[in-house]
Structure 1
Amino acid sequence: MPGAVLITAALMLGVYTIVKPAAEYGWTDPVTLGLGAASLVDGGYLPHIFGPMVLFGTGAGLAFPALMNLAMSGVAPEEAGLASGLANTTMQVGGALGLAVLATLSASKTTDLLEAGTPVPEALTSGFQLAFWIGAALVVAALLAAVFVLKSVPATAPGVDLDDELLLEAEVASERTVL
């Protein structure tokens, strides 16, 4: 329900701040207005939007379930809900904090460049580039930590046979972490 409220609010904001004033000045076709705004961007859909989104979706699809399984490993079944909630909260707070830091650095660089007389588009681009490069560096650092710090552990010790009940518990636990 909150998502529907946010989408409705965004649509209302767009209608009252863009479409309605544009209609008052004679531009009555919202589709034309939207396409006109989109045409101001210098770039192509496939290389600048589709490609990066496919890469991001693939990376996130591979990394997030593995991170959740890592966070849930070694947790007793009766504490799985608490551990799952803590892991999800940590990811949300970490993402929000990371975004806040990157946005602050970007805004600071943009402000410095504007005060130095740099035109607005160039200043904004430089600020965004700084945030993107720092974000990329953090992803590379996380990748290096995953490669060199995390070690694979065999599911069972050599010579130990798993019984059916233990396999069923492991399957149920893995289904809980995916959901």
Structure 2
Amino acid sequence: MLSLGVVFGLGAVGTLAYWEDAATLTGGNFKAGNLDIKLSGEDNNPATFTTDFTMLNMQPGDSKAASISVQNAGSLAFTYTATGTAPGTLNATLVFRVVPGGTVSGGTCTGGTETFNNKLGTGTPVITANRPLAAGANESFCVSASIPTSATTGQGLSTTASFAFTAKQVGAP
């Protein structure tokens, strides 16, 4: 009879069951942002942006200015800097100004905050501080070239100026 009690005692324990369910998270789509700097709507890859920043038969006291728009056509904010180059024989006489936020008034730049006012060499920094530009935003700037009224050299000489803009991700050194 002891053996029956042991058998019945085990039978009273019963079975244990738990419900279970599962869920899966899908749709984790990841896409890297991009940087895309444009000058007055032109992408510099591979084309080069040109503007009417030309003046022939310059003489002391003459000045030519042009307005350019720097645009962030990418999906990420960036900072940008710029360098200028003026190879040729007139570069020792011409004085260039770069004025972010400036506008053209006659042959000069007005308003804005001047970042450069000097002669250009090769790869001369003209916008040295990282200028922030939000995705989709743009900033106009004015650039001018002049022969000072005090110039005694440069007659018959020429140069071609170019400016290179570099954008980098915010926070990059």
Name the TM tier (shorter chain).
under 0.3
- Give TM-score scaled by structure 1 length: 0.22
Higher relative contact order (CA 8 A, sep 6+): 2
TM-score normalised by L of structure 2 = 0.22
Decide which structure has the larger Cα Rg and report it: 2
Higher helix proportion: 1
**Higher strand fraction: Structure 1 or Structure 2?**
2
